Amino acid sequence: MPARIEDHSRTILDTVVVVDGAPIVTEKKVDALTKVLKKLFSEAGRVREDGFYMPMSPDGKSKGYLFIGFETVEQADNAVRGLNNKRLDNKHTLLVNKFTDIEKYGDDDEEDEEYIEPPEEPYVEQEHLRSWLKEPNSVDQFILYKGESVGVFWNRKSEVPEVNVNRSNWTETYVAWSPLGTYLCSVHHQGVQLWGGDEFGRKARFIHPGVQLLDFSPCENYLVTWSPEPIQLIPENSPMRGSFPFTTADEGKQIVVWNVQTGMPVRTFSSAVGPDSENGPGPQGPKKISWPAFKWTSDDKYLARVVPGQQIFVYETPGMGLLDKKSIRIDGVVDFEFSPAVIKGTGKKDEPEHVISYWTPEMNNQSARVTLMTIPSKEVIRTRNLFNVAECRLHWQNSGAFLCVKVVRFTKTKKSTFTNLEFFRLNEKNIPIEVVELKETVINFAWEPAGDRLVIISTSDVPTAPGAPPGARPPPGKVPGMPGSGGPVKTSVSFYGLERSKGVNGQFRQIMTVERKSSNSIFWSSKGRFVVVAAVGGTSNNTGELDFWDFDFEGEKKEIPGAEEVPANLTLMASGQHYQLTDIEWDPTGRYVATSSSMWGRAMETGYRIWDLKGQLLREEHVERFKQFLWRPRPPTLLTKDQQREVRKNLREYSKVFDQEDIAEESQASKELIAQRLRLLEEWRAWRKVVEAELAEERGGVVPLAFKSEDDGTEIIEEIVDEVISEKEEEIED
C-alpha cells in the first residue's frame, strides 16, 4: 500500500511546475498577474482548480515565483517545453521547471553535498569550418551534382576541376550551400544534414520528416525548413522518440525554425498563415506555399511573414516571440521587404533600427500606398500614394541606400499596363522620391550590388496574362524577379545610372537601351561593375544568349547624350551562347560565371560552362544527368573600406604579379604535359618492342597467309628488251 501512495503522490507532483522569474507585484496587482499567468498557462493545458499557488512574502508582495498544477503529466511537460524562457515583457522572462525536477536536481541529496570537481574534458580540436578560404590564390569551390554523385571541386579554370570530395547518394533531392558557405546541406526524407570542414564531415542533423524546402537566415544562425507532411509525434515507447525533437505543441506544424548551433527547433509554424485567415486554404485544394516563408533582417535579429490582406508578423530572435507580442495590422497588405541595411536608432533608444517596406493596394476609397516603417520602433518614416496600381514589386539595393518600387499601372482604359519606377533615396533627408516612367512592361530588374546603377529588361508585347485587377494578390510561390514563362518574347534591355555632378546626386538617367533581344534575366557580379544579361530557361525556343557588359570599361569614354554626368562607360565585352541554359551564377569573387543546364530544367543537352568575366569561354563539359552547379559562397570581406580602397588603387601592381604567376603556372603545366606525353610515348614504344620480339619468336619465321605478301604491293614488271649493239656478218668457211 505505501508503494501505491508513493506512486500516487509522485503523479501528483509530476503535474506541478515551478515558475520563476515572474514579476514581483504588490497586493493590488496580484489579481491582474494571476489572471495573466492563468491565461498563459492554460495554453499548455488545463490548470487544476486548486492548482494555482503564488506564495506571498509578509510585506504583501509576491515572491516572483509560483506553483501551477495541471490535470495531467503531459500538460505539465508541455508547459515546461512551451513556456520555459517565455518573455513576459522586457524585464521578465519566465523559467518553468517540473516540480519533481527541482527535487531531482536539487541539492538536498546528502551524498552530493561534497562538491566534486568534474573531470576536465580533454580538448578536442574542432575542424576549421572555413579552411577553404585559406587557399592562397582565393580559388573558389563549387558543387557538381550529377546522377547520384555530389562532389565539391576546386575551380581550375579551363582544366578539369580538382576533386575535394565526391560522394554518391550524398543527398536525396538536392544540395545547397549555407549563405556564407560554411555548410553544405543535403536534403533527405528524414530531414536536413549539414556538412563542413576540410573533409566535409557531418556537422548537424535536423530531423524533419518529408522536408522539401529550406532557407537559412543571412548570418547562418537559423535554418527554416518546410515539409508538406504535418509533424506527427512518434509514439512514446518508440526507440526513435529519444532523438525526436518535437513535442505535442509542434504537432501538425509544417515549418520549423532551427538553431543551427544547437541543432534544436526554436519554433514551429503552420504553413497556412494566421489563425484568422479567412482566405486560408481555399476550395482549390492545397495552397501553393510561397518560399522563403520568412524574410529576415540582415543581422538575423528579426524575421517576418505576411498574412496577405491583413497583417505582418514580426518575430524577434532568439526567443522567437512576436515583436511587442502583437502583429502589425495593415489592412490589405500584399507584400513586404526588409531593407538589407541596419540604421542607427532614432533618438529614444540606441537599439539599431531596421526598415521594412510594404505596399497596400487601392481599397476602401484609399489609394494604393507604399510605406516605409522602422522596426522595432514601428514608426512610419515615409509613405507614397500611388494610383491605378496593378502590382508593386519592392527592390532594395543591397546596401539599403535605395529602394526601387516597380509599379505596374493601368492605362486610362484599364486595358493595358505600363511600368513606373519609384526610387526612394533612404540616405537623403526626408527620403525624396524620383519617378521614372516607362512605356513598356518591365519583366526584370536588378540593382548593381553596392552601386547606384541598374539594368531593366522590358517588353512591349505583354508576355503573360495582363496585370491582375487591383487588390488581387500576386500568385504565391512565384519568386520575385523571375520571369514567368520564357517564351520567345522580344525584349529590350536598358541600363540606368545615377547622375553625379560635383559629388551631388542627380537623377537616374538612361545610359543605353538595346532593342530586340530575347534576354529575360540579369546577373550582376557580386562585386558590381560587370553584369551578364541572358535568356534563361529550359524551353526549346530558348537560344541561351549571353551578353557580358562592363559598366566601367577602361577605354575611351563614349559620350552618351543626356547622361553625360553618369559615372559609367558601358561596353558590351562579349556575347556568348549556351543553348537551353537553365542557371547562371557568378562566383563569389566576381571573376567567373558558370552557366549550366540541368536535367531539372528539362534541357536536353545537360552540362555546365565556365566563363571569365570578359565573356571568354574557359571550360565546357557535357554531363549526363547533370543537376546542379553551385559556387560556394564566401563570408563578407574582413578588410575595412580603407583597405579595400587601397587594394583597388594598387590593382595594377597586383595584376602584374598575378599575371606572372599565371604564366609560370601555365609553363609549368605545359612542361608537365610534355613530360607526361614523352613518358607515354616511350612506354608504348618499349612495350611494342617487347611484344613484337616475343611474337616473332613465337611465330618462328612462319608467316601466316594474312601477312604473306606476294608482291609487296608494287608490281614487278619484267621486260625483256633485245638491244642490237652491232651487227657483223662473217662467213665461215668450212
Partner 1 sequence: MRPILLKGHERPLTQLKYNKEGDLLFSTARDKIVNVYYSHNGERLGTYTGHQGALWSVDVDPTSTIAATGAADNTIKLWEVRSGRCIHTWNFPTAVKVVQFNEDGNMLLAITEQRMGYQGTVYVFPVIIDVEAKQAEEPIIKFSSPENKFTKAGWSYLNKWIITGHLDGTVSKYDAKTGELLQKVVVHEKEVTDLQFAPDMTYFITTSKDKTARILDTKNLKIMKTFVADAPLNTGAITPLKDYVILGGGQDAKDVTTTGSRQGKFEARFYHKIFEDEIGRLKGHFGPLNHIAVHPAGTGFASGGEDGYVRVHHFDKSYFDFLYDVERMRPE
Alpha-carbon 247 to chain mean position: 29
Interface pick for partner 1 out of 707, 724, 728, 733 (rule CB under 8 A): 707
CB of 147 to partner 1, least distance (A): 12
Contact between 715 and partner 1 by CB under 8 A: the answer reads no
Cα four-point dihedral sign 531, 532, 537, 538: negative
Contact between 687 and partner 1 by CB under 8 A: the answer reads yes
CB of 718 to partner 1, least distance (A): 21
Q: Where are the beta strands (DSSP E) in 568-637?
A: 571-577, 583-586, 592-597, 607-612, 617-622, 626-631
Contact between 699 and partner 1 by CB under 8 A: the answer reads yes
In the chain, the amino acid numbered 496 is Y
Looking at the DSSP assignment, which residues form a beta bridge with residue 424?
A: 403, 433
Distance from C-alpha of 444 to C-alpha of 427, rounded to nearest angstrom = 25
Nine cell digits for residue 34: 494571476
Contact between 693 and partner 1 by CB under 8 A: the answer reads no
Contact between 685 and partner 1 by CB under 8 A: the answer reads yes
Distance from C-alpha of 582 to C-alpha of 403, rounded to nearest angstrom = 29
Site string for partner 1, 465-494 (x = CB under 8 A): ------------------------------
Site string for partner 1, 650-679 (x = CB under 8 A): ------------------------x--xx-
Contact between 701 and partner 1 by CB under 8 A: the answer reads no
Contact between 160 and partner 1 by CB under 8 A: the answer reads no
Distance from C-alpha of 377 to C-alpha of 354, rounded to nearest angstrom = 9
Q: Which is nearer to partner 1, 605 or 665 (CB)?
A: 605
Distance from C-alpha of 394 to C-alpha of 330, rounded to nearest angstrom = 17
Q: For residues 245 and 258, is the Cβ–Cβ distance under 8 A? A: no
Interface pick for partner 1 out of 605, 653, 661, 665 (rule CB under 8 A): 605
Q: For residues 407 and 422, is the Cβ–Cβ distance under 8 A? A: yes
Interface pick for partner 1 out of 28, 516, 652, 708 (rule CB under 8 A): 708
Stretch that binds partner 1, among 202-210, 408-416, 447-455, 680-688 (CB under 8 A): 680-688
Q: Which is nearer to partner 1, 115 or 707 (CB)?
A: 707
Q: Which is nearer to partner 1, 7 or 692 (CB)?
A: 692
Strand-strand pairing, 368-375 and 380-386: antiparallel
Q: Which residues contact 542 (CB under 8 A, 6 or more apart)?
A: 486, 518, 535, 536, 579, 580, 581
Number of residues lying near partner 1 (CB under 8 A): 23
Q: Which is nearer to partner 1, 450 or 690 (CB)?
A: 690
Contact between 680 and partner 1 by CB under 8 A: the answer reads yes
Site for partner 1 in 607-626 (CB under 8 A): 622
Question: Starting from the edge strand earliest in sequence, which strands make up the sheet with 16-20, in order?
Answer: 47-53, 65-70, 16-20, 93-98, 86-87
Stretch that binds partner 1, among 129-137, 211-219, 269-277, 703-711 (CB under 8 A): 703-711
Contact between 686 and partner 1 by CB under 8 A: the answer reads no
User: Given phi > 0 = left and psi -120 to 50 = alpha, else beta, which region is 670?
Assistant: alpha
Contact between 39 and partner 1 by CB under 8 A: the answer reads no
Interface pick for partner 1 out of 713, 729, 730, 733 (rule CB under 8 A): 713
Distance from C-alpha of 336 to C-alpha of 292, rounded to nearest angstrom = 13
Stretch that binds partner 1, among 253-261, 463-471, 568-576, 687-695 (CB under 8 A): 687-695
Taking residue 653's Cβ as centre, other Cβ atoms within 10 Å add up to: 10
Looking at the DSSP assignment, which residues form a beta bridge with residue 259?
A: 222
CB of 609 to partner 1, least distance (A): 14
User: Given phi > 0 = left and psi -120 to 50 = alpha, else beta, which region is 590?
Assistant: left
Q: Which is nearer to partner 1, 278 or 711 (CB)?
A: 711
Residues making contact with partner 1 (CB under 8 A): 604-605, 622, 674, 677-678, 680-682, 684-685, 687, 691-692, 695, 698-699, 704-708, 713
